[in-house]
Each structure stands twice: as C-alpha cells, then as structure tokens.
Structure 1
Amino acid sequence: MKVAIVGGNGFLGSAITKAAVGRGWEVSSISQSGRPFRTPSGHTPKWTDEVKWTSANVFDQNTYADVIKQSDAVVHTIGILLESDYKNGPLDALKGLIAGRENPNPLTGGLYERLNRDAAIRVADVYKNTRTTQEDNPFVYISAADIFRPLIPSRYISTKREAEEYLKRLDGIRDISLRPGLMYHPHTRPISTIPATMIDILNKLPKPFINGLDADSNLQSVQNLLHTSALHIDTVGAAALEAILDKSQSGDVNVDDIKRLAWKS
C-alpha cells in the first residue's frame, strides 16, 4: 500500500505516518516545510527514515501531483482550530479554547475556508484526476465533531462540513471523513491532556440528553461535548488506516466508529 499523508509531520499526521510505516506501507508526507517530524525535545525518531518527506504548497498542484499520482490512498490532516493555532502554536490555541473568546471573530483573510475546506478540496481534486482505475480510491479527510461552539467561531465546523459535502459528491473516490472530538497525546503535546481529562470526567457524569435541539445551535454543540470522549491521536491514526483497508467504509465516521475501526487494528 502506498499512502500520501498531507500534513504528515504534524500533531495527528505524524501519528498516522508512524502507524503506516509500522504496517510496512510505502509512506509519503506532503507539507509546507517538507521536514521530518520531530518530537518536542527536537528528536527525530528512527521511523522517519522510512518516509518520503516532500515540501509542497497544496494550492499549487505542480508541487505534489506526482506524489499523489503514485499513491493508492490519501489522508488529509491539514486544518486549523483557532487563529492563534496557525500563527503562534498549539499552546496559544489551547489557552484560547479554555479561556473562551469575547465575540470570536471570523479569521481574517478566510483562513478557516482556505485551510479547513479549500485545501482538502484541492488535494481531493488532484487525487481524483490522477486515478487510473475506479476500483477503490480511498481519500480520508480529518474532519471534526461539533463540540467546540461557542468557544470558537462556528465557521470552524461549518467549513469542515462543507469539505465533507464536496467529497461526498466527488465521483471516482471513496470519501471517508473522520470526526474526532478533542485529540491528545501526553508526550508530543502534553498540555492536550488537561482538557482531555476534563472531558473524560464530564463524560462519566450523569446528565440529561435533550432531544429536538437545533443542530446549528450552540446548546447542541455543548451537548455533543458532554457525550463525546477525547481520543488519543494513535487511536485516530489507527482508524484512518483501517478505513483505507475497509472498502465498505465511507462517509462520516463518528467517535464511536473511530474507536471501532481502531480496535480492528
């Protein structure tokens, strides 16, 4: 199996890349820097030697189309939660998520649209146009569960859903949209364990389930949070690879089904 992982040196992407290498797959990572993954301490793990690291601009297909063409499957992990996540790093993003925002404004310059939606659409189009067979062409998109409103702008989730809908309509590929909630790893991103622990506690508390809420309401998003467990990035990574192998798997994949897929591995 040859797989291209867009954002393969990132937080989740590196977990997927490592897992694919562990299965003996031929793995290519596409990212802006093209640099191999490094741990927070600056260490480059041994498994990175088995990956083809490519520097590319997802909005310029000439920089990565050859990699996509040679791949049997694609996993797209690029996305943004908060503007600070893009400009300053995950620590600032998490601070903003915990503290909340006064009148959270849409990202200047349409970064939600560009990074959460348009990047996936562009890569999926390249993948489709480089296919030579209709047999099975899995494209895994890392979407998200709707659990963060009103702490972050609604456009975070709406742009994810717009990307999902586009992929569903795209002929010639088997679309798979994983919808994890909050993801964590105690070593590569230690601070992520704080909200993950809080969510785990909330999930264990008795709580009512309110039917009939508007799907677009903030209250529905909060209710989703109370019923959605946090996931270790290795769990999501394993699920992404199992979804590629399972030809019956397509469309939206919620947290429970992510766990089910991961357990198969």
Structure 2
Amino acid sequence: MKVAIVGGNGFLGSAITKAAVGRGWEVSSISQSGRPFRTPSGHTPKWTDEVKWTSANVFDQNTYSDVIKQSDAVVHTIGILLESDYKNGPLDALKGLIAGRENPNPLTGGLYERLNRDAAIRVADVYRNTRTTQEDNPFVYISAADIFRPLIPSRYISTKREAEEYLKRLDGIRDISLRPGLMYHPHTRPISTIPATMIDILNKLPKPFINGLDADSNLQSVQNLLHTSALHIDTVGAAALEAILDKSQSGDVNVDDIKRLAWKS
C-alpha cells in the first residue's frame, strides 16, 4: 500500500505516518516545510528514515501531484482550531480556547475556509484527477466532532462540514471523514492531556441528554462535548489506516466508530 499523508509531520499526521510505516506501507508526507517529524526535544525518530518527505504548497498542484498520482490512498490532516493562533503553537491555541476569544481581526477571516475546507478540496480534486482506474480510491479527511462551540467560532466546524459535503459528492473516490473530538498525546503535546482529562471526567458524570436541540445551537455543541470522549492520536491514526483497508467504510465516522476501527488494527 502506498499512502500520501498531507501534513504528515504534524501532531496527528506524524502518528498516522508512524503507524503506516509500522505496517510496512510506502509512505509519503506532504507539508509546507517538507521536514521530517521531530519530537518536542528535537529528536528525529528512526521511523522517519522510511518516509519520503516532500515540501509542497497544497494550492499549487504542480508541487505535489506526482506524489498523489503514485499513491493508493490519501490522508488529509491539515486544519486549524483558532485563526488568531495560527502558527503560534499549541500552548497559545489552548490559552485562546480557554479564554474563548473570537478572531480579533476581521480582515483575516479566510483562514478557516482556506485551511479547513479549501485545502482538502484541492487535494481531493488532484487525487481524483490522477486516478486511472475505477478501483477503490480511499481519501481520508480529518474532520472534527462539533464540541467546541461557543469557545471557538462556529466557522471552525462549518468549514469542516462543507469539506465533508464536497467529498461526498466527488465521484471517483471513497470519501472517509473522521470526526474525532479533542485529541491528545502525553509526550508529543503534554498540555493536551489537561483538557483531555477534564473531558473524560465530564463524560463519566451523570447528566441528562436533551433531545430536540437545534443542531446549529451552541447548547447542542456543549451537549456533544459532555458525551464525546477525548482520543489519543494513536487511536485516530490506527482508525484512519483501518478505514483505508475497509472498502465498506465511507462517509462520516464518529468517535465510537473511530474507536471500533482502531480496535481492529
């Protein structure tokens, strides 16, 4: 199996890349820097030697179409949680999430659309256009569960859903949209364990389930949070690879199904 992982040196992308290498797959990572994954301490793990690391701009297909063309499957992991903290790192992002601030600059209002939606659409189009047969063509998109409103702008989840809908309508690929909630790893991103622990505690508390809420309401998102467990990135990574192998798997994949897929690996 040859797989291209867009954002393969990132937080989740590196977990998927490592898992694919562990299965003996031929793995290519596409990212802006093209640099191999490094741990927070600056260490480059041995498994990175087995990956083809490619520097590319996802909005310029000439920089990566050859990699996509040679791949049997694609996993797209690029996305942002907070526009105002783009490229500032996970600590600033978590601070912003806790503070609940909106994007302070209305002139930069296109990052959600560009990175959460348009990037995935562009890569999926390239993947579809490079297919030469009608065989199985799995495209895994890392979407998200709707659990963060009103702490972050609704456009975070709406742009994810718009990307999902586009992929469903795209002929020639098997679309798979994973919808994890909060993801964590105690070593590569230690701070992520704090909200993950809080969410798991909330999940275990007895609480009512209110039926009939408007799906677009903030209250529905809060209710989702109270019933959605946090996931280790290795769990999501394993699920992504199992979804590629399972030809019956397509469409939206919620947290419970992500766990089910991961347990199969």
TM class, shorter-length: over 0.9
> 1:104·1:152 contact (CA, 8 Å) conserved in 2?
no
In the alignment, the residues of structure 1 paired with residue 118 and residue 31 of structure 2 have an alpha-carbon distance, to the nearest angstrom, of 15
Distance 1:38 1:208, change over 3 A: same
Relative to structure 1, is the Cα distance of residues 46 and 233 closer, same or farther in structure 2, using a 3 angstrom cutoff?
same
**For 2:57 and 2:105, how far apart are their aligned partners in 1?**
27
Query: In 2, distance between residues paired with 1:10 and 1:17?
Result: 10
What's the secondary structure of 2:212's corresponding residue? Answer: coil
Instruction: State which drifts further: 27-36 or 104-113.
Output: 104-113
Q: What residue is the counterpart of 1:241 in the other structure?
A: 241
Partners of 2:180 and 2:236 within 8 A in 1: yes
Deviation at 1:256, TM superposition (A): 0.1
| Percent of matched pairs sharing the same residue | 99
Alignment length (residue pairs): 265
Once the 2 structures are TM-superposed, how far is the Cα of residue 102 of structure 1 from its aligned partner?
A: 6.0
In the alignment, the residues of structure 1 paired with residue 202 and residue 104 of structure 2 have an alpha-carbon distance, to the nearest angstrom, of: 25
**C-alpha distance 163-104 of structure 1, shift in aligned 2 (>3 A):** same
Deviation at 1:189, TM superposition (A): 0.2
Question: Per the alignment, in what secondary structure is the counterpart of residue 95 of structure 2?
Answer: helix
Secondary structure in structure 2 of the residue aligned to 1:107: helix
Quote how far apart the aligned CAs of 1:52 are: 0.0
Please give the per-residue CA displacement for 1:27-61, whole angstroms capped at 9, x wherever unaligned.
Answer: 00000000000000000000000000000000000
Shift of 1:107: 7.2
Aligned counterparts of 1:87 and 1:249: Cα–Cα separation in 2: 33
CA contact (8 A) 1:72 1:137 kept: yes
Alignment TM-score, normalising by the size of structure 1: 0.98
1:4–1:75 Cα contact (<8 Å) kept: yes
- Aligned counterparts of 1:111 and 1:46: Cα–Cα separation in 2: 34
Q: Answer yes or no: is the 8 Å Cα contact 1:144–1:160 preserved in 2.
A: yes
CA shift at 1:83, angstroms?
Answer: 2.0
TM-score by length of 2: 0.98
Closer/same/farther in 2, CA of residues 198 and 107 from structure 1, 3 Å limit: farther
TM-superposed deviation, 1:217 = 0.2
Aligned 8 A contact 2:84 2:103 in 1 = no
Task: Decide whether the 8 Å contact of 1:104 with 1:153 is kept in 2.
Answer: no
Where structure 2 has 5 or more consecutive residues not aligned to the other structure, the ranges are: none
- Structure 1's 102 and 44: CA in aligned 2 closer, same or farther, altered over 3 A? closer
Q: Secondary structure at the match of 2:107?
A: coil
1:11-37 Cα offsets, whole Å, 9 max, x none, are: 000000000000000000000000000
Contact 2:19 2:237 in 1 (8 A): yes
* Contact 1:83 1:93 (C-alpha < 8 Å) held by counterparts: no
